[in-house]
Structure 1
Amino acid sequence: MIFRTTILAAVCAALATLATAEPRAWQGEWPDTNFNKTTVDAWSEILSGGPPKDGIPALDNPGFIPAARETRIGAREPVITVEVRGAEPRAYPIRYLTWHEIVNDTVAGVPIAVTFCPLCNSGITFDRRTRHGVLSFGVSGKLRNSDMVMYDRQTESWWQQALGEAIVGDLTGTVLDTLPTWMESWAQFKERNPQGLVMKEPSWSRDYGRNPYRNYDSSKQPFLYNGEMPPHGIPPLMRVVRVGDRAWPMSRFDTQQKISEAGVTLTWSKGQASALDASRIDQGREVGTIRVRDASGRDLPHDMLFAFAFHAFWPDGRWMLGQ
Structure 2
Amino acid sequence: MRIIKTIAALILAAHSASASPEFWVHEWPATDFSKTNVASWVEILSGGPPKDGIPAIDDPQFIAVADAALTPHEPVITVEIAGHSPRAYPIRYLIWHEIVNDQIGDLPIAVTFCPLCNSGITFDRRTAAGTLRFGVSGKLRNSDMIMFDRETQSWWQQAIGTAIVGELTGTQLQTLPSWMESWDTFRARNPDARVMAQPDFNRDYGANPYVNYDSSHRPFLYSGALPPHDIPALARVVRVGNQAWPLGRIAAAGAISESGLTLTWVAGQASALDSRNIGQGRDVGNIRVRDAAGADIAHDVLFAFAFHAFWPDGEWMIDPG
TM > 0.5 between the two? yes
Aligned partner of residue 59 in structure 1, secondary structure: coil
Kindly provide the amino acid, as one letter, of the partner of residue 183 in structure 1: M
Q: Where does the alignment leave 5 or more consecutive residues of structure 1 unmatched?
A: none
SS at match of 1:255: helix
Structure 2 match to 1:43: 41
Residue in structure 2 matching 1:122, options 119, 123, 126: 119
Q: Matched residues in 1 for 2:137 and 2:35: separation? A: 17
Give the match for residue 200 of structure 1: 197
Q: Distance in 2 between matches of 1:156 and 1:13?
A: 24
* Residue aligning to 1:287: 284
**Correspondence 1:141-290 to 2 at 5 A:** 141-290=138-287
- 1:301 aligned partner: 298
Q: Deviations over 1:159-184 (max 9, x none)?
A: 00000000000000000000000000
Shift of 1:15: 3.0
Q: TM-score, normalised by structure 2?
A: 0.98
CA distance in 2 between partners of 1:199 and 1:105 (Å): 10
Tell me the secondary structure at the aligned position of residue 142 of structure 1: strand
Structure 2 unaligned blocks of 5 or more: none
Residue matched to 1:30: 28
Measured against aligned partners, the alpha-carbon deviations of 1:98-141 in whole angstroms (never above 9, x if no partner) come to 00000000012100000000000000000000000000000000
Instruction: Kindly indicate whether residue 135 of structure 2 is the aligned counterpart of residue 138 of structure 1.
Output: yes
How many Å apart are 1:255 and its aligned residue? 2.3
Could you list the structure 1 runs, at least 4 aligned residues long, displaced by more than 6 angstroms after superposition: none
Give me the identity figure in percent. Answer: 65
Task: Report deviation, 1:9.
Answer: 3.7
Shift of 1:322: 2.3
CA contact 2:139–2:146 (8 Å) conserved in 1: yes
Pairwise CA distance, 1:6? 5.2
Contact kept, 8 Å, 1:10 with 1:50, in 2: the verdict is: no
Following the alignment from structure 2 to structure 1, what is the Cα–Cα distance between the partners of residues 242 and 250?
A: 19
Change (3 A) 1:308 1:143: same
| Cα distance in 2 for residues equivalent to 1:257 and 1:160 | 32
Residue pair 2:251, 2:265 contacting (<8 A) in 1 also? no
Question: TM-score, normalised on structure 1?
Answer: 0.97
Return the alpha-carbon distance in structure 2 between the equivalents of residues 9 and 263 of structure 1: 44
